[in-house]
């Protein structure tokens, strides 16, 4: 229906999959899908599928900051998720998405890295959060953040005892405490399409729509956390006027509330 939008001949009000411009795709979320990981989640936003697994390790904190642990996030875009990606070292695009996701997590301050420290200057947790994209169909940052946050929320840290004298480490996996997660940052992607003199905002764009709007990935990502903005990223695409900006922020706020509900219900449902 909409392959002719980019020719500019007709003004269409639907996405290629029949959605309205400001409709989002359906979201399916599943937590603890991977039994070997310490915490995990799978999400499907339309066709976009992302798996997140968290692996726990113990390490010595950095000398400069002896009382903080480590949270390492990494997004992988493998050739399996789209024909756009080639095997080999992480592409620029994957590095950019990794950077956006880790920026949002740090900015939102949802994880206090001091909670990850067990004994200052001696022992702390390292959380390796790997997000692997299985199907790349646009708005990957949204999906990555949903899996990452639901994994973090379900993560249980085993209790660890550390003997200062002998430097012996004992891990007791029977007693587990959840990791305190403060807030829930939710990102919403938009693509900005120039339709003659006015620009059209597409919520939750697919890979095809992102490409059509000229961006590498989504053009605008707005991230809400506890009624505050914790990251607004606008790259490329058409230029954005103030009205459009306000409109997107409101849309993102709406969506963040919905997604928050999904995550919470999903986690409650599990136990």
Partner 1 sequence: MGQKDDIYQNFQLRPMKCELNFLSRSDGSAILSQGETVVTVSVNGPLDIKTTSQSIEKATLEILFSSKGGKPSVADRFKENVIRQTCETAILGCLYPRTGITITIQELEDYGGLLSCAINCACLALLNSGISLHHVVAAVSCIVDETGNIVLEPEYQQVQSAATKLYFVFDSRDKNLVTGFTEGAVGEDMYLEALEKCRAASDLVFNFYRDVVTKYSNVI
Q: Which of helix, strand or coil describes residue 41? A: strand
Q: Which of 141, 139, 155, 143 is nearest to 190 (CA)?
A: 139
CB of 157 to partner 1, least distance (A): 25
Judged by CB, which is closer to partner 1: 193, or 233? 233
Of 161, 241, 264, 269, which one interacts with partner 1 (CB under 8 A)? 241
Cβ(161)–Cβ(196) under 8 Å? no
Integer Cα distance of 204 and 216 in angstroms: 14
Q: Which of 115, 113, 101, 200 is nearest to 143 (CA)?
A: 101
Judged by CB, which is closer to partner 1: 10, or 99? 99
Q: What would the two tokens of residue 225 be?
A: 């956390």
Decide if residue 49 touches partner 1 (CB under 8 A). no
Decide if residue 182 touches partner 1 (CB under 8 A). no
Decide if residue 112 touches partner 1 (CB under 8 A). no
Of 2, 109, 181, 254, which one interacts with partner 1 (CB under 8 A)? 109
Stretch that binds partner 1, among 35-43, 133-141, 203-211, 225-233 (CB under 8 A): 225-233
Contact positions with partner 1 (CB under 8 A) in 89-108: 92-93, 95-96, 98-100, 103, 107-108
Separation in Å, CA 118 to CA 19, 147, 171, 244: 49, 26, 12, 47
Separation in Å, CA 229 to CA 33, 78, 135, 141: 30, 30, 28, 16
Torsion sign, CA atoms 259, 252, 216, 95 = negative
Decide if residue 245 touches partner 1 (CB under 8 A). yes
Of 169, 229, 262, 267, which one interacts with partner 1 (CB under 8 A)? 229
Of 225, 256, 259, 263, which one interacts with partner 1 (CB under 8 A)? 225
Query: Crossing angle for the helix pair 242-270 and 140-154, nearest 10 degrees?
Result: 40
Judged by CB, which is closer to partner 1: 47, or 107? 107
CB of 167 to partner 1, least distance (A): 32
Q: Which of helix, strand or coil describes residue 50? A: strand
CB of 207 to partner 1, least distance (A): 17
Task: Give the binding site for partner 1 (CB under 8 A).
Answer: 92-93, 95-96, 98-100, 103, 107-109, 214-216, 225, 227-242, 245-246, 249, 253
């Amino acid at each position: 229906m909409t392959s002719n939008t980019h020719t500019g001949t007709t003004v269409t009000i639907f996405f290629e999959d029949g959605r309205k411009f400001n409709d989002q795709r359906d979201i399916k979320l599943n937590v603890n899908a991977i039994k070997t990981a310490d915490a995990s989640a799978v999400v499907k936003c339309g066709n976009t599928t992302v798996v997140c697994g968290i692996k726990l390790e113990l390490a010595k904190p950095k000398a400069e900051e002896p009382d903080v642990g480590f949270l390492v996030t990494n997004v992988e875009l493998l050739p399996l998720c789209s024909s756009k990606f080639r095997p080999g070292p992480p592409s620029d695009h994957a590095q950019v998405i990794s950077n956006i996701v880790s920026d949002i997590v740090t900015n939102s301050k949802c994880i206090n890295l001091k909670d990850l420290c067990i004994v200052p200057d001696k022992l702390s947790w390292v959380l390796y959060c790997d997000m692997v994209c299985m199907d790349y169909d646009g708005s990957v940052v949204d999906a990555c953040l949903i899996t990452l946050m639901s994994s973090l929320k379900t993560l249980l840290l085993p209790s660890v005892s550390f003997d200062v004298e002998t430097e012996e480490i004992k891990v007791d996996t029977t007693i587990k405490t959840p990791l305190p997660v403060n807030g829930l940052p939710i990102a919403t992607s938009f693509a900005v399409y120039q339709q003659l003199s006015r620009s059209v905002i597409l919520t939750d764009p697919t890979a095809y729509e992102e490409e059509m709007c000229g961006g590498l990935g989504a053009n605008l990502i707005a991230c809400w956390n506890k009624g505050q903005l914790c990251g607004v990223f606008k790259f490329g695409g058409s230029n954005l006027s103030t009205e459009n900006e306000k409109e997107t922020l409101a849309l993102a706020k709406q969506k963040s509330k919905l997604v928050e509900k999904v995550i919470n219900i999903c986690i409650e449902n599990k136990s």
